[in-house]
């Protein structure tokens, strides 16, 4: 695909050829073979292919080598098709190139095709590994394990023809000619998942190959005039695409409804290992969600954001079901909160901060600390709403109590609206920032409720609905709307917590169901397992790929532990515990027969109790912990 088009928009090369030689990799465009670059497999040096003349000489050399019957090192050992280069990363022994090996078109964003990454792989340029010492080889092996985790990252999207990190309102306010810039220059760096990986490609000015990847989700409803609904929903756990077809009666008006969530990479991480804010004011699980409505030539956009409570706090896993939450006392806490909300004001305007946490227990202490800091900010309205107390597990409609508190300001903030000619009719002048503890379950229920309110206002403004009509009056359409929001909640939760969202039934049906309770129970157990025994490695992978940890030969190995290795002792402790309980149970049954069996029961019960006490006292040591970076 050519760079540029008749409309002046920049386009990336969408189909590439990977040639694997003994000493290098060559990546070039299929449609423009003179455009590409090579990477040395020993040193990792990148060299752009400089023009058609050199390409011609290159192929003449291959032909000459064949005639002379030289070794096969002069010819590629393998030629394959790839669909993009996601970047490079340097480790101890060389460079690793991340390429997209499979993609799937999942829809469009403002008329431009959007693709989801189906599979990726790293190409190793690490021939220097043979010259490394034993510790460096062990470290490199662990880093390569982390790269395998990166290859399986869910929910990555991109487009060859446009940037998808910018919301509609920002796009419409960009200067003329912006779309002719390289796509990576158009992108909002907050939402570029592979920003760190692209640095070397940018340095070598390989603009036609630089693909900014967005981690999030894109869900779309099409309401055609023939009333056919196609629902495209992306499930990030298994990276699949599903289609649902149903008859709609949206007053005979064709419409497209899209949900697009953009995950910020400034404090990228997993549920338990990235909480709260860092000293710069960036928060964990910060996501911008855009609800787009395209109808009769009009385009409407509503933005909402979510993010962890912007204080310094932690909740370290220790094998307990609900680890203790601790607020970190730090002299810069007021500045952290101020930096966070100042950044939001600069980007979105006036902010309403909705705090959905409990008002008792550990959550209550965190909420109280948050409230105290928010009283010092005169330009932000802080609203505390105990979701569990007011709504419980089934009273979804009780959210009207919250809406009554903020409705006037929410409707004043408005939404963005343009007509068929691109004229701006309405602008969104502020933002709702929602949070609970994880910014997943309660947050998604609340955001879907506010999105529904705004959708009603938009449809009334365009003239599709009368002033007395709302989406909930059209049962089938309303069901599809709620399903999309529930599926979006699942995807966001999968990326952060590793499981589907809880309370999904409140969004789908407005009430909790038995099936939903069972699903929530399974998700809660899965979260416990992943958070305690898996997420440490996943956090290391995210810190590595985001550039938060930089590999250097000058730094000491991060894997030389000062204490016992948790994964070596956990199976032993588990075996002793299970064995102790089993033998205790067996000997108790035999204890009535003789005193020796009774003594054995006591001994084995003591062993089991001792192991349990050891594990409980050292719970944190038995959990999977990140090794590369600290919490802040």
d(C-alpha 56, C-alpha 76), whole Å: 16
d(C-alpha 212, C-alpha 194), whole Å: 6
DSSP H or E segment with residue 269 = none
Q: Is the pLDDT of residue 6 over 50?
A: no
Band of residue 146 on the pLDDT scale cut at 50, 70, 90: very high
Q: Is the pLDDT of residue 72 over 50?
A: no
What percent of the chain shows pLDDT beyond 70? 80
Secondary-structure percent of the chain, ordered helix, strand, coil, rounded to 5: 40, 25, 35
pLDDT at 264: 96
Range of lowest pLDDT (43-47, 163-167, 424-428): 43-47
pLDDT at 357: 97
pLDDT at 304: 98
Q: What is the 3-state secondary structure (H, E, C) of 53-71?
A: HHHHHHHHHHHHHHHCCCC
pLDDT at 295: 86
Mutual angle of helices 333-348 and 361-374, in 10-degree steps: 70
Range of lowest pLDDT (8-12, 234-238, 288-292, 453-457): 234-238
d(C-alpha 117, C-alpha 156), whole Å: 6
* Cβ–Cβ under 8 Å, residues 292 and 258: yes
Mutual angle of helices 595-617 and 566-590, in 10-degree steps: 150
- Residue with more model confidence, 171 or 512: 171
d(C-alpha 325, C-alpha 598), whole Å: 43
Radius of gyration over alpha carbons of the chain, in Å?
Answer: 28
Q: Is the pLDDT of residue 177 over 90?
A: no
d(C-alpha 233, C-alpha 243), whole Å: 7
Average pLDDT, the chain: 84
Range of lowest pLDDT (175-184, 450-459, 480-489, 599-608): 599-608
Q: Which of 114-118, 310-314, 467-471 has the highest mean pLDDT?
A: 310-314
* Cβ–Cβ under 8 Å, residues 166 and 186: yes
DSSP at 511 = S
Q: Is the pLDDT of residue 387 over 50?
A: yes
Q: Which of 64-78, 104-118, 187-201, 255-269 has the highest mean pLDDT?
A: 187-201
Band of residue 593 on the pLDDT scale cut at 50, 70, 90: low
| Terminal CA-CA length for the chain | 43
Range of lowest pLDDT (49-53, 233-237, 288-292, 560-564): 233-237
d(C-alpha 334, C-alpha 377), whole Å: 9
d(C-alpha 492, C-alpha 486), whole Å: 10
Q: Is the pLDDT of residue 458 over 90?
A: yes
Range of lowest pLDDT (183-192, 287-296, 389-398): 389-398
The alpha carbon dihedral of 328, 368, 494, 415 has a sign of negative
Q: Is the pLDDT of residue 390 over 70?
A: yes
Give the model confidence (pLDDT) of 365-378 as tens digits: 999 999 999 999 98
Mutual angle of helices 475-496 and 441-462, in 10-degree steps: 140
- Residue with more model confidence, 443 or 495: 443
pLDDT at 553: 86
Q: What is the mean pLDDT of residues 493-517?
A: 79
d(C-alpha 423, C-alpha 283), whole Å: 35
d(C-alpha 361, C-alpha 354), whole Å: 19
Band of residue 51 on the pLDDT scale cut at 50, 70, 90: low
Phi-psi region of 101 (alpha: psi -120 to 50; beta: other; left: phi over 0): alpha
Give the model confidence (pLDDT) of 351-369 as tens digits: 999 999 999 999 999 999 9
Name the residue with tokens 């009535």. Answer: 592
- Residue with more model confidence, 64 or 601: 601
Give the model confidence (pLDDT) of 195-236 as tens digits: 999 999 999 999 999 999 999 877 766 655 433 333 333 333
pLDDT at 370: 98
Band of residue 570 on the pLDDT scale cut at 50, 70, 90: low
> What tokens appear for 31 in the block?
């449609």
Give the model confidence (pLDDT) of 243-296 as tens digits: 222 233 466 777 888 889 999 999 999 999 999 999 999 999 999 999 998 888
d(C-alpha 213, C-alpha 157), whole Å: 6
d(C-alpha 239, C-alpha 156), whole Å: 9
Q: Is the pLDDT of residue 73 over 80?
A: no
d(C-alpha 299, C-alpha 235), whole Å: 26
Short-list 205, 200, 274, 261, CA closest to 39: 200
d(C-alpha 259, C-alpha 248), whole Å: 19
Q: Count CB neighbours of 304 within 10 A.
A: 23
- Residue with more model confidence, 615 or 577: 615
The residues with which 285 forms a beta bridge, in sequence order, are none
Residue ranges in 271-427 assigned as alpha helix (H) = 333-348, 361-374, 387-391, 399-413
């Amino acid at each position: 695909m050519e760079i540029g088009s008749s409309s002046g928009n920049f386009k990336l090369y969408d189909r590439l050829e990977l040639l694997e030689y003994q000493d290098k990799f060559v990546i070039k465009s299929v449609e423009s073979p003179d455009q590409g670059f090579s990477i040395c497999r020993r040193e990792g040096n990148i060299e752009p292919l400089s023009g058609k003349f050199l390409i011609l000489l290159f192929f003449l050399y291959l032909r000459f080598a064949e005639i002379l019957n030289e070794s096969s090192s002069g010819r590629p050992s393998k030629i394959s098709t790839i669909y993009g280069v996601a970047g490079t990363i340097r480790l101890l022994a060389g460079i690793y190139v991340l390429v997209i090996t499979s993609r799937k078109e999942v829809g469009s964003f403002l008329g431009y095709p959007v693709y989801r990454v189906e599979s990726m792989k790293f190409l190793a340029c690490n021939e220097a590994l043979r010259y490394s010492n034993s510790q460096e080889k062990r470290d490199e092996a662990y880093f390569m394990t982390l790269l395998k985790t990166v290859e399986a990252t869910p929910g990555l999207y991109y487009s060859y023809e446009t940037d998808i990190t910018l919301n509609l309102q920002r796009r419409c306010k960009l200067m003329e000619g912006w779309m002719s810039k390289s796509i990576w220059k158009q992108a909002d760096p907050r939402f570029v998942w592979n920003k760190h990986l692209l640095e070397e490609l940018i340095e070598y000015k390989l603009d036609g190959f630089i693909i900014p990847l967005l981690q999030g989700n894109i869900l779309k409803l099409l309401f055609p005039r023939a009333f056919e609904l196609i629902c495209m929903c992306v499930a990030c756990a298994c990276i699949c695409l599903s289609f649902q077809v149903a008859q709609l009666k949206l007053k005979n008006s064709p419409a497209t409804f899209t949900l697009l969530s953009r995950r910020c990479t400034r404090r990228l991480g997993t549920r338990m290992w990235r909480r709260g804010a860092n000293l710069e004011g960036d928060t964990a699980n910060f996501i911008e969600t855009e609800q787009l409505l395209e109808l009769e030539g009009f385009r409407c956009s509503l933005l909402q954001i979510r993010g962890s409570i912007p204080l310094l706090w932690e909740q370290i896993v220790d094998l307990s079901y609900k680890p203790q939450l601790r607020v970190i006392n730090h002299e810069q806490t007021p500045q952290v909160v101020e930096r966070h909300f100042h950044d939001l004001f600069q980007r979105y305007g006036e902010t309403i901060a909705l705090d959905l946490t409990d008002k008792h227990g550990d959550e209550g202490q965190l909420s109280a600390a948050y409230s105290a800091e928010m009283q010092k900010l005169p330009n932000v309205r802080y609203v505390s709403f105990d979701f569990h107390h007011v709504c419980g597990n089934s009273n979804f409609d009780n959210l009207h109590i919250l809406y009554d508190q903020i409705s006037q300001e929410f409707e004043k903030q408005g939404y963005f609206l343009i007509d068929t000619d691109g004229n701006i009719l309405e602008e969104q002048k502020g933002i709702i920032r929602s949070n609970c503890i994880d910014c997943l379950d309660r947050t998604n229920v609340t955001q879907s409720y506010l999105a529904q309110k705004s959708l009603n206002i938009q449809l009334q403004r365009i003239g599709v609905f009368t002033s007395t009509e709302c989406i909930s009056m059209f049962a089938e359409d309303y069901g599809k709307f709620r399903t999309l929001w529930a599926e979006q909640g699942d995807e966001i939760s999968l990326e952060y917590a590793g499981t589907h969202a809880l309370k999904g039934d409140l969004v789908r049906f407005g009430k909790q169901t038995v099936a939903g309770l069972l699903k929530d129970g399974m998700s809660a157990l899965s979260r416990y397992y992943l958070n305690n025994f898996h997420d440490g490695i996943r956090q290391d992978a995210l810190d590595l790929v985001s550039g938060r940890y930089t590999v250097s030969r000058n730094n000491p190995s991060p894997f030389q532990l000062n204490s016992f290795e948790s994964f070596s002792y956990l199976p032993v402790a588990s075996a002793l515990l299970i064995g102790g309980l089993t033998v205790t149970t067996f000997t108790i049954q035999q204890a009535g027969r003789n005193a020796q069996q009774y003594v054995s029961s006591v001994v084995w019960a003591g062993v089991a109790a001792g192991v349990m006490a050891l594990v409980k006292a050292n719970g944190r040591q038995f959990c999977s912990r990140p090794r590369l970076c600290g919490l802040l």
